[in-house]
Structure 1
């Protein structure tokens, strides 16, 4: 009786282990792709933040190299990203009794073109956008700008990852 129990337990454990093997821990499914090419994302926004283009491009490259087994290449990648930063805007969000802004919102918008050379049905061109709020009496520079860009770039790059390889 014990022998049958151990055989059943071993069989079920093995089945579960093998069945879970097709999933990755990062949620990304790159298929048969081996390389990824991520071009520089120029800033085409009316208001330009000089560090944003390099920061966004580097963070997107870092995200894909950390969470997938793809090799970053400068040309002819199996997965290919290009695009541009199309908006960098600060808008007042909430007012006070004396009709001044109590809070401002920084919004960044990025247009992304994704080409999967191995699965053309996965290709897309989409706009991704996110924001960060900060108090109106604070200057958007230094630590406040760094914090806002950290939050925005992290969210947009994760959304791009999810749309391209995680299929969320």
Structure 2
């Protein structure tokens, strides 16, 4: 008898959620039912630094993320939602120094940081209050240059950073975080 009540509960819940004017999903997306498409322009690498394929990698992963985590169709241009931007920062910097030991006594980099910054513009053609222009998204990866140097691990660090920036862009544009 209890399973019969559960079945009715879920059926009622399903109809309530479908009747709402805003689409609901368990990923936290808040997109109106009229929004069906998104166009994502190529994000160019304006820094001239980083792996040569970073712009293409970022753009393709951004499109894939939207496809996996929303019901939106990707269109070349003129989507209900529009996203464009560029990679505006790619910088490796020193984070900490360790004192030399033994006969060496030469200070060494103990930690370095790779930071990538992306600037994005988002347009929601149905709800201008959701728009943002030239918003900066940045993330970093700290690493030990002595055990995991940038030149040997750059792609892994770039992958980790891009993944986080894409999540931030997704949350800011369609999850309203």
Q: What range is the shorter-chain TM-score in? A: 0.7 to 0.9
More helix by share: 1
The runs of 5 or more residues in structure 1 that have no matched partner are: none
The answer for the alignment partner of 1:27 in structure 2 is 28
Q: What's the offset of the Cα at 1:47?
A: 3.0
Q: How many angstroms apart in 2 are the aligned matches of 1:165 and 1:72?
A: 14
Distance 1:9 1:88, change over 3 A: closer
Q: How many angstroms apart in 1 are the aligned matches of 2:25 and 2:84?
A: 25
The answer for the alignment partner of 2:122 in structure 1 is 114
Q: How many angstroms apart in 1 are the aligned matches of 2:118 and 2:3?
A: 56
Instruction: Give the count of matched residue pairs.
Output: 164
Could you tell me whether the CA contact under 8 Å between 1:40 and 1:53 is conserved in 2? Answer: yes
The answer for the alignment partner of 1:127 in structure 2 is 136
Q: What's the offset of the Cα at 1:72?
A: 0.9
Q: How many angstroms apart in 1 are the aligned matches of 2:164 and 2:90?
A: 15
Aligned CA-pair RMSD: 2.3
Matched position secondary structure for 1:141: helix
The answer for the alignment partner of 2:155 in structure 1 is 146
Q: What's the offset of the Cα at 1:17?
A: 4.1
Q: How many angstroms apart in 1 are the aligned matches of 2:53 and 2:127?
A: 34
